[in-house]
Amino acid sequence: MNDLLQRFLFEHADIRGDLVHLDATWQAVLAKHDYAPPVRALLGQAMAAALLLSATLKQQGRLTIQIQGEGPVSFLVVECTAERTLRGLAHADDDVTTTDLRALVGRGRLAITLEPEADGERYQSIVELSGASLAEAIENYLDRSEQLDTRLWLAVDGARAAGLLIQKLPESGRVGDTDAWNRIGQLSGTISAQELLALPAREIIHRLYHEEDVRVFEPEPVCFRCNCSRERVADMLRTLGHEEVRAIVADEGSVQVTCEFCHHKYEFDAVDSEQLFAADFPPAAPRTRQ
């Protein structure tokens, strides 16, 4: 398994760890877009980070990381579902060379949104983007939103994206091992980007923490999947309004919408378009794609 989420736990210290490797998932995103290397790196880091953060959620749901800035990267979004599927995209200039986050995004904002699967409120928190790297920006975000102490390391190359997270559990520090957080943080920081990308998850855990008491769980599979559907596009067209949709059909013969994440094309001809606005509109299915 090359695309996975590997959880582990320092039981004596009440600190959790998560490791992610994205291989085919990352390739699927790269195959659909042609990004400059620094933009690619930022998007890959955001994908690894979204998966790491979603693993720490108490409530299962969809987690979204969104960055908006002055550019050259003006927009970036990554979504991770409770089923561990990911999709993402970025809007950026073609000729970006810098890798510093501040130079890549300019003055920007970082938003993290959680939409719980079952009952529960949608939660979003937005902060000014700060830090030289995305890992630092997310650590700052978590710090400001007064969440549990968390540190993360992210790495990307043309083939893979990877990440490592450690987080204090609420009970942490209750027992004797008060130095554990600093010690485990320092051990984690010794991993190089190259090692994080290339070594199997279990080997990384062994290399870094062989003197600690670590419980390693079964890895979970991860994959790329776009959750766009004909139904969602239909909803979007309804919000555009009947007149606007009619005008497009009059001009172009039909309404064509291409999903920006996966490049799937949806077409609504004159009849389909009228049906969208019929008084008792039948659902846009059966051509729903999931």
Stretch that binds Zn ion, among 44-52, 124-132, 204-212, 264-272 (CB under 5 A): 264-272
Q: Are strands 85-92 and 223-224 parallel, antiparallel or unpaired?
A: parallel
28 binds Zn ion (CB under 5 A): no
266 binds Zn ion (CB under 5 A): no
152 binds Zn ion (CB under 5 A): no
Q: Which of 77, 259, 276, 284 binds Zn ion (CB under 5 A)?
A: 259
Kindly give the residue spans of alpha helices, DSSP state H, lying in the chain: 24-32, 37-55, 101-105, 134-144, 180-188, 193-198, 201-209, 230-240, 242-252, 270-276
Q: Report yes or no: 108 and 65 within 8 Å, Cβ to Cβ.
A: no
Residue that is written with structure tokens 């979603």 in the block: 54
DSSP state of 159: S
Stretch that binds Zn ion, among 22-30, 60-68, 112-120, 253-261 (CB under 5 A): 253-261
Angle (deg, nearest 10), helices 134-144 and 37-55: 40
CB of 236 to Zn ion, least distance (A): 12
Q: Report yes or no: 226 and 87 within 8 Å, Cβ to Cβ.
A: yes
164/259 with CB nearer Zn ion: 259
52 binds Zn ion (CB under 5 A): no
φ, ψ for residue 245 (rounded to 5)?
Answer: -65, -40
89 binds Zn ion (CB under 5 A): no
Stretch that binds Zn ion, among 11-19, 62-70, 74-82, 221-229 (CB under 5 A): 221-229
Peptide bond just before 286 cis, omega within 30 deg: yes
86 binds Zn ion (CB under 5 A): no
Stretch that binds Zn ion, among 99-107, 130-138, 139-147, 227-235 (CB under 5 A): 227-235
29 binds Zn ion (CB under 5 A): no
228 binds Zn ion (CB under 5 A): yes
Stretch that binds Zn ion, among 47-55, 88-96, 128-136, 218-226 (CB under 5 A): 218-226
φ, ψ for residue 220 (rounded to 5)?
Answer: -110, 140
65/259 with CB nearer Zn ion: 259
Q: Report yes or no: 96 and 70 within 8 Å, Cβ to Cβ.
A: no
DSSP state of 210: T
- The two structure tokens encoding residue 93: 């200039």
226 binds Zn ion (CB under 5 A): yes
261 binds Zn ion (CB under 5 A): yes
257 binds Zn ion (CB under 5 A): no
Q: Report yes or no: 180 and 66 within 8 Å, Cβ to Cβ.
A: no
CB of 263 to Zn ion, least distance (A): 7
30 binds Zn ion (CB under 5 A): no
Binding site for Zn ion (CB under 5 A): 226, 228, 259, 261-262, 264
